[in-house]
Amino acid sequence: MIGILVLFTQSNAVICSSGTSRGVRNPVAQLLDSGNLVVRDEDDLIPENFLWQSFDHPDSTFLLGMKTGLVTKGLYVCFSSWKSINDPCQGNFTFEVDINGLQMYLKQNSVAKAQSGDGIEFGLAYLRAFDLWEVVETGRDPPTLRVDPTVAQIKHHSKECAKKYKALSCLHQVVSNVIFVRIIACETTKEAWDKLKEKFHGSDK
């Protein structure tokens, strides 16, 4: 058995797979309490031996225990947008540590579009790339679910609801400590963003 994790559509078409693996006796997938989805041999609990783990392929959510940059085993981990709304494979945007310097870069098709030294502009580019800008701009909750929603509608709705927390946590990650303490009390991303604008531009930008 090889232990490759594959995501199928309802009609059994492959959306994406975790790629190459190695032979193990009995591969299992497990969602750990940390939020890390791992594929491992049933009897092997040693993290270094995991066949695959979602923490090596983050998108827009940074959880405690995740690492970015050059992590173990010569593995370079960066945050990446999805290929499309239904396809979680790596998309065109990445958020990554520059190995040579101490900056974070937002790249589109490997070309740097913004860097952490750019401060507020960087945060803006980041939120746009990860499809989170709308919640910041409007500050609105998504429309409530209609009566008798389908499973797809429920999923879509909870994803939309989660966006405001994602956006706020993204903003927290990209700003400096000095700025962070100013916006930590803000409950919505819009509130935090308005505060940043006030501080840096004095007006809309």
Residue number with the shortest CB distance to ligand NAG? 92
Least gap, CB of 133 to ligand NAG (angstroms): 15
Near ligand NAG by CB under 6 A: residue from 17, 90, 92, 169: 92
Least gap, CB of 109 to ligand NAG (angstroms): 5
Least gap, CB of 128 to ligand NAG (angstroms): 12
Per DSSP, the residues of the chain read -----EEE-TTS-EEEE-------SSEEEEE-TTS-EEEEETT---GGG-SEEGGGS--S---TT---EE-GGG-EE-EEEEEETTEEEEEEEEEEE-SSSS-EEEEETTEEEEEGGGTHHHHHHHHHHTT-HHHHHH-PPPPPPPSS--HHHHHHHHHHHHHHHHHHHHHHHHS-HHHHHHHTT-SSHHHHHHHHHHHHTSS--
CB nearer to ligand NAG: give 109 or 144. Answer: 109
Least gap, CB of 81 to ligand NAG (angstroms): 8
CB nearer to ligand NAG: give 134 or 191. Answer: 134
CA atoms of 205 and 203, how far apart (whole Å) = 6
Least gap, CB of 131 to ligand NAG (angstroms): 10
Residue 124, φ and ψ in degrees, nearest 5: -65, -45
- Show contacts of 138-144: CB within 8 Å, 24+ apart: 138/190, 139/188, 139/189, 139/190, 139/191
CB nearer to ligand NAG: give 36 or 90. Answer: 90
CB nearer to ligand NAG: give 92 or 173. Answer: 92
Q: Determine if 144 is a binding residue for ligand NAG (CB under 6 A).
A: no
Question: How many chain residues touch ligand NAG (CB under 6 A)?
Answer: 3
Q: Determine if 86 is a binding residue for ligand NAG (CB under 6 A).
A: no
Least gap, CB of 79 to ligand NAG (angstroms): 16
Q: Determine if 109 is a binding residue for ligand NAG (CB under 6 A).
A: yes
State the residues that interact with ligand NAG by CB under 6 A. 84, 92, 109
